[in-house]
Structure 1
């Protein structure tokens, strides 16, 4: 298939507001006959929609709940197996698995159907979580978390694709905002629930506790999710559908992303040097797998898991990069702002965590606000740029935190970051969906989540590596003499001892953390700026307000693409 080039006409509406009839003609002929579009495939009643959303969103809620539950359990699990030094791999294995398998579900949603792909994701997530509750060793637990990640990567992607099938684009952002509220609620409840279950029933109960919610979601997906695909897909045999799976492309993509993220994660968690054979070996392997992946997707795969023609298009590329840089900044902020209050302000862990509360509220508010604006105006471009600028302003204010910064700023400055990024994540997802043909919608959604999750992992690991590098250098400058190296190592690995140090050592530790975190905050601002720059090329496509308009727009876009392809061939 030749690459589809998109000219400036794409900034104009492809479908006028009163154009419910689309015109089709055979390319190259003079015939042009009006043809009424068929009724929408997936119109559902309000009651059925509520049940479908309950099934999909309960899975999203569970995925968020699981993430913070596990984060709370790392210490007791490490102590139980007497392997606290390896506890971080429980989280790393899950995140790596999520990043590797997230984009695969876009294509699987087209091959297996929305219900089949969602049931596969829930099955893998459920099996992995159940095995975590029974794990006899740390190694078994790490493997079980990787299995859970294979499914967790699909829950958000497939649920997003399914909602897009059911909701017109103009209203889609509002539903995405509600999804994000549920995600935030799950993430907020996970910590307290995980701690309570661990204290009263042991850490295994925190995994087994999730099974009833999983069964509820699984049952509703089976009973209520019956989203129809086009007839040419529905009529294919299972054998033919399986032949459409891009096994080699999936393998090379997993190798590319897995080796890259594992290299950065080991650099951060194991404190290996950049020149260590394991680190540069993983990066080299990632580059080789990446070259193979591009070759396979470009020249060989008939149904590529990540079509290169999409990545080469203006809006999908801009959306992917903006999601990546935005996620890097967002998750670096999420992890390093509490560290500032613990290591520099010497607040308790509870107080440090509370400073993220306004940020959490802003995330929910920003996402719903973006959805409301898109529903009311049918536009997203200016909203995207304005809210991206808000994240730059927030990151810049955080850079200038000092001992004399007022309490108001310490609580408020992070709010525009959460509000702006939640809005950008919502608008860019809608921009991606609105820019591609209907048959590419599921794959494009998977690509968006791939760049987003990869940015999240790199935001944490890269900021951690940068922080430790600068912190070590500053501590060595300020702490010298007998026993200095041992003291430096203690300060690097535990912020809780800083308050107990002598005044001179305490000042050295606080100043070193402040200097290191300022460098990290500057990099966060740079990442937010790159996110803004990447948002500039995004095109303003119309957002249909009804199912009929949306179906007509899809048909018009398909006809336009087919006509261009025929004229270029």
Structure 2
């Protein structure tokens, strides 16, 4: 922080002596964690309920759009929410995103057709983009970087909790209350978060005279939409060489190139390019992209191996991911607290990246005969590696920009992680499908392999049970061969993450020392919280 910024930033009693937050701050943080839980838990719950939803509403051919509409709306709205918060004030924009998310949840629960559900899920996704960005940006306003690590570690813990509990909660709700309550359950939780944040948190209201960069927002939306659709449809609904996929790729690149040009001329750009001149910020976006690439790939293909080869049910496969998710949750919290205690952070991506490499490589060695216990052990270093990296990327990115760009920094980091996940699932999926088909062709012959994989490389566990012994053996070897390629290439991506981490520069975190003459008070930027 520059000297001018330090003088102009008011001193706030957000964090007391010893870095312990006041009661009012703790109430706000609880509300923020509930909001983050809503955004993360939703997709996990809905995934379990989807077979029941399709059975009632029909529209099996539109099934993927229920997830794609949500993901697409979240990705495209993320940078816009961040910029709106910087321009017009964080609190009002964040509360608006909560209301929009709850509105979309209520409408989704009332859906009478698959088309309605897809449209309302898009509304939900728009709100979810604001939830995730708002949580990180408000923490950036509320807590100085030196203390921020422990709270962002808690947020990572909430994310891991959502990944563990989502399938279990979704299955229970669907079986006992009906699939519509998978959406309605968001309403009471959202209202609690809305009340806690609106009453306790008081941030300055901004009246920006600047105009929103509509051209930049539009071009960015088109570019992101094209890339997400490309990675979602490529190799599944359309061949990679099809005119539609090629058109999406060319259109997306052109739209993003035009967006970059527009940002150089806009008075108030949606994504100020100047923030990428900071080396640490640019490196954190790269690391965030790679972590998303690896994490979402692992979350997609590990359950597939567990259900197909190890014979786990859908619910049990979620539980079998617990070694990875618990490792991520515990390490995130520990890393956050160590950052707050020492003010050092470079060591975490430097340690976390090799751990990811080791974990991914070990997972690539799994065979048809690998036990659940062994695969669980292999997941631990991967989870620990992601835990070291998940929230540190956000912390360093926020510490690398001025307070006025806090929302943009938070949204950019979230956006690159989301896009990385989309790319990871798509590219790993294409690699996996090719390898499964090739392996089965070697064992069964091209004709039999083509017939078996005509509906896709993934077969349901019930269908596998009725395969002849030779076919089942060929399919199991195909799956393990595909998993080997996926995680081997994933480990190579994690090596790039380590290379980027080496070049991170250790810059002291702002707020590391008390303001002169202000005992127990820390200059953290323009905020205030109500006394409780």
TM-score, normalization by structure 2 = 0.91
Q: Distance in 2 between matches of 1:477 and 1:411?
A: 30
Q: Is the 8 A contact 1:168 1:546 kept in 2?
A: no
| 2:194 equivalent among 182, 206, 218 | 218
| Mean Cα deviation higher: 454-463 or 288-297 | 454-463
SS in 2 for 1:413: helix
Identify the residue that residue 170 of structure 1 maps to in structure 2: 146
Q: Does 1:462 align with 2:452?
A: no
Q: Does 1:80 align with 2:56?
A: yes
Q: Does 1:112 align with 2:88?
A: yes
Q: Does 1:393 align with 2:369?
A: no
Identify the residue that residue 229 of structure 2 maps to in structure 1: 262
Matches within 5 A, 1:476-487: 476-480=441-445, 485-487=450-452
Q: Is the 8 A contact 2:58 2:114 kept in 1?
A: no
| 1:341 equivalent among 296, 300, 306 | 306
Q: Does 1:183 align with 2:148?
A: no
Q: Distance in 2 between matches of 1:491 and 1:150?
A: 31
Identify the residue that residue 531 of structure 1 maps to in structure 2: 497
Q: Is the 8 A contact 1:498 1:506 kept in 2?
A: yes
Identify the residue that residue 302 of structure 1 maps to in structure 2: 267
Matches within 5 A, 1:438-449: 438-449=403-414
Q: Does 1:287 align with 2:249?
A: no
Alignment CA distance shift 1:482-1:166 (3 Å)? closer
Q: Distance in 1 between matches of 2:172 and 2:522?
A: 49
Q: Distance in 1 between matches of 2:450 and 2:306?
A: 25
| Mean Cα deviation higher: 359-368 or 479-488 | 479-488
Q: Distance in 2 between matches of 1:528 and 1:429?
A: 18
Q: Does 1:136 align with 2:112?
A: yes
Q: Distance in 2 between matches of 1:39 and 1:547?
A: 13
Alignment CA distance shift 1:37-1:139 (3 Å)? closer
Q: Distance in 2 between matches of 1:552 and 1:56?
A: 21
Identify the residue that residue 470 of structure 2 maps to in structure 1: 504
SS in 2 for 1:264: helix
Alignment CA distance shift 1:547-1:293 (3 Å)? farther
Identify the residue that residue 19 of structure 1 maps to in structure 2: none
Q: CA deviation at 1:545?
A: 2.7
Q: Distance in 2 between matches of 1:120 and 1:96?
A: 19
Q: Distance in 2 between matches of 1:224 and 1:312?
A: 36
Identify the residue that residue 369 of structure 1 maps to in structure 2: 334
Q: Distance in 2 between matches of 1:481 and 1:395?
A: 30
Alignment CA distance shift 1:397-1:38 (3 Å)? closer
Q: CA deviation at 1:215?
A: 1.4
Write the deviation string for residues 275-308 of structure 1: whole angstroms up to 9, x where unpaired. 111111111110111111001111x211111111
Identify the residue that residue 296 of structure 2 maps to in structure 1: 331
Identify the residue that residue 135 of structure 2 maps to in structure 1: 159
Point out where structure 2 has 5 or more consecutive residues left out of the alignment.
16-20, 527-532
| 1:516 equivalent among 479, 482, 503 | 482
Alignment CA distance shift 1:36-1:551 (3 Å)? same
Q: CA deviation at 1:350?
A: 4.2
Q: Is the 8 A contact 1:129 1:148 kept in 2?
A: yes
Write the deviation string for residues 425-467 of structure 1: whole angstroms up to 9, x where unpaired. 2222111122222222221111111101111222222222221
| Mean Cα deviation higher: 173-182 or 408-417 | 408-417
TM-score, normalization by structure 1 = 0.85
Q: Distance in 2 between matches of 1:376 and 1:84?
A: 52
| Mean Cα deviation higher: 164-173 or 469-478 | 469-478
Identify the residue that residue 40 of structure 1 maps to in structure 2: 11
Identify the residue that residue 566 of structure 1 maps to in structure 2: none
Alignment CA distance shift 1:36-1:159 (3 Å)? closer
> How big is the alpha-carbon RMSD for the aligned residues of Structure 1 and Structure 2?
2.4
Q: CA deviation at 1:394?
A: 0.8
Q: Does 1:251 align with 2:227?
A: no
Identify the residue that residue 564 of structure 1 maps to in structure 2: none
Identify the residue that residue 273 of structure 1 maps to in structure 2: 239
Structure possessing the higher radius of gyration over alpha carbons? 1
Q: CA deviation at 1:102?
A: 1.0
SS in 1 for 2:470: helix
Matched residue count: 515
Matches within 5 A, 1:192-203: 192-203=168-179
Alignment CA distance shift 1:191-1:109 (3 Å)? same
Q: Distance in 2 between matches of 1:399 and 1:222?
A: 48
Q: CA deviation at 1:353?
A: 2.9
Write the deviation string for residues 356-395 of structure 1: whole angstroms up to 9, x where unpaired. 0111111111111110111121101122201111111111
Alignment CA distance shift 1:105-1:491 (3 Å)? closer
Write the deviation string for residues 100-136 of structure 1: whole angstroms up to 9, x where unpaired. 1111122111122111110121122112111101112
Q: Distance in 1 between matches of 2:522 and 2:26?
A: 22
Q: Is the 8 A contact 1:41 1:228 kept in 2?
A: no
Write the deviation string for residues 310-364 of structure 1: whole angstroms up to 9, x where unpaired. 1233111111011001110111111111212222334444443332011111111
| Mean Cα deviation higher: 217-226 or 399-408 | 399-408
| 2:346 equivalent among 369, 381, 405 | 381
| Mean Cα deviation higher: 461-470 or 474-483 | 474-483
Write the deviation string for residues 40-99 of structure 1: whole angstroms up to 9, x where unpaired. 256377121122112222111112221211111111111112222321211111111111
Identify the residue that residue 414 of structure 1 maps to in structure 2: 379
